[in-house]
């Protein structure tokens, strides 16, 4: 039994949302027992997939990641899953898919001077995002990390003490019937 976790399930979006919609659909076709955990759902969920909504403060950029994580963890304590597969910032989880890079790396690019980073790191929104990322990449909070590129993998290795063998690169597939 697998739990797939994402803040938003939206079949009309691209990126991680599109990836999630694809794997949910394929897992359902294969008869895998899947629960989809999200705060918001847009679009049809495949037959056989269980929709598990959680409540979080989705309007607040500061509280959204924290309240979503708390809500997911409360739900996970009530239910048993063989694998918790996160496609968003939650912890702990079994498998984390890091598809958009690492916050620490992006802030180093955005704020090249160390003093600029310090000033921005204390901004509540950024502080929360960095806190969540730091928690996710603690070795006790994951079993495997999946990235969609070597670039992402190298960002994680450069910023966190993670063994390279704990990160697997799986490139995004192409739906040949659609493209």
Q: What pLDDT, in 10s, does the model give residues 118-153?
A: 888 888 888 999 999 999 999 999 999 999 999 999
For residue 150, whether the previous peptide bond is cis, meaning omega lies within 30 degrees of 0, is no
Residue 135: its H or E element? helix 124-136
Q: What pLDDT, in 10s, does the model give residues 71-110?
A: 999 999 999 999 999 999 999 999 999 988 898 888 888 9
What mean pLDDT is predicted for residues 30-48? 94
Quick one: residue 96, left, alpha or beta (phi over 0 = left, psi -120 to 50 = alpha)?
A: beta
- In 3D space, the residue among 91, 93, 67 whose CA is nearest the CA of residue 81 turns out to be 93
CA 170 to chain CA centroid, nearest Å: 15
Residue 13: pLDDT band (50, 70, 90) is confident
| Cβ pair 52, 18 in contact under 8 A | no
- In 3D space, the residue among 154, 107, 2 whose CA is nearest the CA of residue 167 turns out to be 154
Q: What pLDDT, in 10s, does the model give residues 156-172?
A: 999 999 999 999 999 98
Say if residue 60's pLDDT is above 90: no
Amino acid 130: pLDDT? 93
Phi (first) and psi of residue 87, to 5 degrees:
-115, 20
Amino acid 164: pLDDT? 97
What count of other Cβ atoms lies within 10 Å of the Cβ of residue 72?
25
Say if residue 67's pLDDT is above 90: yes
Amino acid 156: pLDDT? 96
Say if residue 61's pLDDT is above 80: no
Amino acid 117: pLDDT? 86
Amino acid 52: pLDDT? 97
Query: Which pTM does this prediction carry?
Result: 0.89
């Amino acid at each position: 039994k697998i739990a797939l976790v994402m803040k938003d399930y939206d079949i009309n979006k691209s990126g991680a949302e599109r990836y999630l919609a694809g794997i949910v659909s394929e897992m359902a076709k294969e008869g895998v027992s899947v629960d989809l955990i999200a705060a918001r759902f847009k679009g049809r969920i495949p037959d056989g997939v269980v929709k598990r909504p959680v409540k979080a403060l989705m309007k607040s950029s500061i509280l959204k990641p924290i309240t979503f994580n708390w809500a997911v963890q409360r739900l996970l304590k009530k239910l048993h899953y063989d694998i918790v597969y996160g496609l968003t910032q939650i912890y702990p989880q079994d498998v984390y898919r890091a598809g958009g890079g690492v916050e620490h790396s992006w802030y180093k690019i955005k704020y090249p001077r160390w003093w600029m980073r310090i000033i921005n790191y204390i901004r509540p929104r950024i502080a929360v995002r960095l806190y969540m990322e730091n928690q996710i990449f603690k070795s006790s909070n994951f079993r495997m990390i999946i990235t969609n590129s070597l670039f992402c993998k190298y960002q994680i290795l450069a910023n966190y003490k993670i063994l390279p063998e704990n990160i697997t690169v799986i490139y995004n597939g192409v739906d040949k019937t659609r493209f």
